[in-house]
Amino acid sequence: WDFLILFFCLPVVIFNEITKRRLLGDVSCRIVPFMEVSSLGVTTFSLCALGIDRFHAATSPQASTRPIEQCQSIIAKLAVIWVGSMTLSVPEILLWQLAQDTSSVSGVVTEYCTMKPSSNLPESVYSLVLTYQNARMWWYFGCYFCLPILFTISCQLVTRRIRGTEKSECRGTKHGQCESHLNCTIIALTIIYGLCTTPENVCNIVVAYMSPEMSKQTLDLLNLINQFFLFFKCSVTPVLLLCLCRPLGQAFMDCCCCCCEGCGPDTTSSEDSADSKLKTEMSSSIFFDKPRETPTPLLALGTPC
């Protein structure tokens, strides 16, 4: 979803700031806020899911031999996160619309997006959209800011409490180090998310109480700053994951090297790829708590006598 934000929303915003024209017109005015709010929801619920996963890893009776989660289960969780985030962002499509303004000095017509529900909506839908608009500031602050931060902090505190009281003897093992590494990754993601969403929440609160006293240029500037903080978060999060998650970063680098160099019949490259694959499998097995497979005992040949 971060890549979707960067590939679709960022060019639209930059084009609008340069030309004062809205790329794709009214469609972009509705889709861009929808995708941006969905991005906040995806990050929020993903951090909550990661916190729950770390809590289960800490409270599992056999954490060191916990098997890898099935692919179907992971896809189901991702589908719930994405569909839930997109469903909660549907009011953004009905809330925004394209507007035009003519400059009194140059006479140039500029296009911009305004938060104003269309009067052509059914009365029941129109009232719901108005209710969402009035509660939008506190909904942002409560669901997309307080929820992931407080949830992550609570899960980390409970996890450390459990590990400190019950599994203190496993701290020096490789499994304990990997668990600590995973917890640091989640904390880093939460810090980046909190730092990038704080300006938007502060601006929303300030604009809500001081909007009549602020000019349109100031409001547009604050909105632009908030959007670029979101773009910064979407740019940093994948890089942070690749750097902190060593198996994921190694697999990504192997794929890039394979695409750049091509697949040749060279034995040296095949041996190197086999070695890198073995290292990746070993590190991923440690990272994802995969139990080592014990070799099957060889059957004795001959009869018992």
Q: Report pLDDT digits (tens) over 234-289.
A: 888 888 888 777 777 777 777 777 766 554 444 444 445 555 554 554 444 444 44
**By three-state DSSP, how is residue 82 classified?**
helix
More confident residue, 23 or 141: 141
**51-55, 81-85, 218-222 — most confident range:** 81-85
pLDDT reported for residue 51: 84
Q: What average pLDDT does range 214-238 have in this prediction? A: 82
pLDDT reported for residue 86: 92
Q: Are 164 and 212 within 8 A, CB to CB?
A: no
Q: What average pLDDT does range 291-299 have in this prediction? A: 48
Count helices and strands in the chain by DSSP H and E runs = 11, 2
Q: Is residue 281 part of a domain?
A: no
DSSP 5: I
Q: Give the torsion through C-alpha atoms of 153, 155, 159, 161, to 10 deg.
A: 60
Rounded distance between C-alpha atoms, residue 115 and residue 134, angstroms? 11
Number of separate domains in the chain: 1
Does pLDDT of 83 surpass 90?
yes
Does pLDDT of 139 surpass 80?
yes
Does pLDDT of 104 surpass 70?
no
Q: Is residue 269 part of a domain?
A: no
pLDDT reported for residue 260: 63
Range of the domain at 40: 1-61+68-167+187-259
pLDDT > 90: percent of the chain: 6
**What is the value of pTM for the model shown?**
0.73
Q: How many residues does the chain have?
A: 305
Residue 288's φ and ψ, nearest 5 degrees, are -100, 20
pLDDT reported for residue 38: 92
pLDDT reported for residue 265: 46
Q: What average pLDDT does range 82-104 have in this prediction? A: 85
pLDDT reported for residue 12: 87
- For residue 234, what is the domain's CATH number? 1.20.1070.10
Q: What average pLDDT does range 131-150 have in this prediction? A: 88
Q: What average pLDDT does range 59-65 have in this prediction? A: 61
Q: Are 182 and 214 within 8 A, CB to CB?
A: no
More confident residue, 208 or 190: 190
Q: Are 105 and 14 within 8 A, CB to CB?
A: no
DSSP string, 87-124: HHTHHHHHHEEEEEEE-TTT--EEEEEEE---TTS-HH
* 226: Cβ contacts below 8 Å, ≥ 6 apart: 199, 200, 203
Q: How confident is the model at residue 126 (pLDDT cuts 50, 70, 90)?
A: confident
pLDDT reported for residue 164: 66
pLDDT reported for residue 173: 59
Rounded distance between C-alpha atoms, residue 172 and residue 179, angstroms? 11
Q: Is residue 255 part of a domain?
A: yes
pLDDT > 70: percent of the chain: 73
Does pLDDT of 151 surpass 50?
yes
Does pLDDT of 82 surpass 80?
yes
Please give the single-letter amino acid code of residue 189. Answer: L
For residue 40, which of 181, 136, 159, 157 has the smallest C-alpha distance? 136
pLDDT tens per residue across span 153-196: 888 888 777 766 555 555 555 666 666 777 778 888 888 888 88
Q: What average pLDDT does range 74-91 have in this prediction? A: 90
Average pLDDT of the chain? 76
pLDDT reported for residue 42: 92
Q: Is residue 30 part of a domain?
A: yes
Q: What average pLDDT does range 191-204 have in this prediction? A: 86
